Structure 1
Amino acid sequence: MNAGNSAQPFCFMVMPFGRKQTQAEPGKGPEEVDFNSLWDKAFFPLLAELGYRPIRADQETGALIINQMFQRLYFSDLVLVDLSVPNGNVYYEMGVRHSVKEKECVLLAADWSRQLFDVAQMRTLRYPLPRGDVDDAMGQAIRDALRPSIAKMRATRSPVHELLQGYPGKVHESCATGVRDQIDALEAFQADMRMLRSLPVSLRRGKVAEIREKYGSQVGIPTIATGLLRLIISCVQTDGHWQEVLTYIDELDPELAKEPFVREQRALALGKLNQPMEAIAELKQLVANDGATSEREGLLGGRYKELMRAAFDAGKTTEGIHFRNLSIQHYERGMQLDLNDFFPSSNLARLYRARNGKGDESRAETALHVTSAACQRALSRGTEKQWVRPTLLGVAFDIPDADMAEELLELVETEGADTWQFTSSLQSITESVPHVKDDAVRARLALVLDRLRVLAGQ
């Protein structure tokens, strides 16, 4: 016992309270969780059974102000942290405990939950939570799942104490030297990246080999390795460039190549190189291991769209319809996961209209409004996402809004085709024009499309 009036040890529970949205993938977990019932029916009785005095911040009579929170996190014999939903306070308090104590911090999460990237690498005890309201039977199931492992996990060392030799006293000088070397490399690399981002794609492309040569020996630093990958992707203009992306990824350190962002880009490159089935397999494995995101669902939708086009081009109508429906399903999931991500929703309108089923026109209009709002929001926030401008251009054709398309064409001519990077979107834009019912609007959009082709050098 570290502090207190009783010989009985106490455990401080770090968790949300009240009802909270889970952000769980539909069908994989409850939409929301009542964390008060989770505490009452599962965690409180479990800790009592294990011989602890259970304490939870919101159970106290007064507000747990910050100095009291620090005291609890330091003096508690055990801290349990529930990471089932993304919560800033919970993540912060976990970090404090990891910093001030070497052991006695156990991470918990519902079996369907997905943690944020850094924390996902830490060992976490999983428990069943099929519904958001915890009754007596579910509480018992949760206690049974956690009871055998908590004692074992208590001895797990904090990652801070594990990685910083000598912490919290005098940290070994070798740690500081390594950090200084990395900072020097990162500072130079980021300066070069800022310079390159200011260049048009055509000029930036010519610098890629030089930058890769300059920093090739430092790709073991994850920030530099992924920064180089982003640079290469930002300069893609041909299939040969996508092969460069794939080759770069396949030559990375195997552990770095397993990172979700890298695997997403590998799947994208495979799809662009006419290997959609391989890309789909990569993405499905990534979703199974790390959970669904709007980006991953959007990439899956794109790969099925490629299969759809190939099937229709080959006269395999039934197969094409099948792949179109799969493409729509994944784009819809992506849109539902994040309405601010314009990528999944931007692909739906054309697919709905091509399918032309009951309610599809209404669905197309909704998807276009979501896409337009997401693009406008991204531009207003000064986004560096390279596809936001061509996506907005595509929206103008899909609505269809000839005035908007002509205004955007003026911006393309003013800012340059490199800034807009619309070449890869021309095929989708071309597919939209025949679906425009108004003859005058269709004619105006066709003229804009012709001009865009000239600007793209086609």
Structure 2
Amino acid sequence: MAEEQQQKTCFVVMGFGVKTDYHTSRDLDLDKSYKYIIKTAVEDAGLKCIRADEIPHAGTIDVPMFEQLLRADVVLADLSTSNCNAIYELGVRHALRPRTTIIIAEEQFANPFDVNHILIRRYRHDGKVLDIEEVDRFRKVLKQAIIDVVNAERNDSPVYTYLNNLEPPEEHIVTSAKASDSVSALAPEAAVAAEPANPAVSVLLQQVTEAKKNSDFLMAKGLLTTLHNISPRQSQWVQQLALVTYKAKYPDPHAALLEAKQILQTLQPMASNNAETLGIWGAIHKRLFDITHDQTDLDTAIGAYEKGYRLQNDHYNGINWAFLLNVRASLAQDKAEAITDFMLARRTRQDILKIADAKFAELQTIKDVEDDDDRYWVLATKAEAWVGLGNDAEAEKCLQQAKPYSEYWMCESTNQQIDALKQLLQNSPLEGL
């Protein structure tokens, strides 16, 4: 126990989950950065690694967060995706402690002016995948940086570098003030029955992943509701809560879709620049249209998928946009409107093939740290695009190529949409022209 208490700690400041970098229109899986690079490097350097989502806490996370920013022997800030919270917390650390702060970011991160003169160690991030060789390289760099900063005596905080006479706060004063505030804020009876600690967010997220793998979407919904209550402004949890809500189909598919719509509405999807939010919004309305046959749902789904596609050249949004253009073309009373949607769907698929080819070529150069399913969905997208362009032979090649990366439910989902597309294409508005 004594050895554990003496172990130095490293508090990691960064975003959680998949975050969008709006400067480069890329989605980055920051949990992979943490799991495979940061946490391992910290532990290899002999320190205990802590991220905010691993801290069980009662009420707001702010108190344990500020405690860690003050007391941690090392703070490591990953500024990738220009995460506002990470940048704010880095500033707090620089104000509290003159040294032992490390900054990292993925290589396409654009430095804000105020950190241009500060050392930022760079690593390559390939979006939702991380190359094994890059992980190994940067993990070694980071481990050495941690060892060096623990043993260094020089300031790395610009606050204490430029304000030479500034003294850092004395920890016992901060601790006493915190204890005093906590006692005065609690009524006597509340102090006896204090709010129980929330489970660590990371534990809940692991349980969500397991529930989704087992298709237990009701369980995933309950867990994500807990996460959402802990941090209502985390957009990723709102997205996932909406997703598992409609997949749970409880109490029935229509009611589940309406509930999912209400949940996701809080993110104002059609004003969003997040392709994931737009994709889920499109999926909800696409499924609502299948039930209600309401043209408004169809048009909303088309608008969401189109925006998500154009924002980030996102092949998922793009291929679904093209599919729904064919649906709308099949329903159009005006032949000119039908031809317009039909031809736009064709042109979109031609563009998607180029995007998917480039994406797959990129994925083939990366040996991902996890068995990622991105390759399957890129190839499935190509297959559907080829079907839409009338080339079933090329589509079949893509489907065969995708099989090693697939699970049964993936193939079933792909085949259902391809079969529906073939039905739509049987009545082309171009016939007779």
**Interval of TM-score (by shorter of Structure 1 and Structure 2):** 0.3 to 0.5
The structure, 1 or 2, with the larger RCO (C-alpha pairs under 8 Å, 6+ apart) is 2
TM-score if structure 1 supplies the norm length? 0.44
TM-score if structure 2 supplies the norm length? 0.46
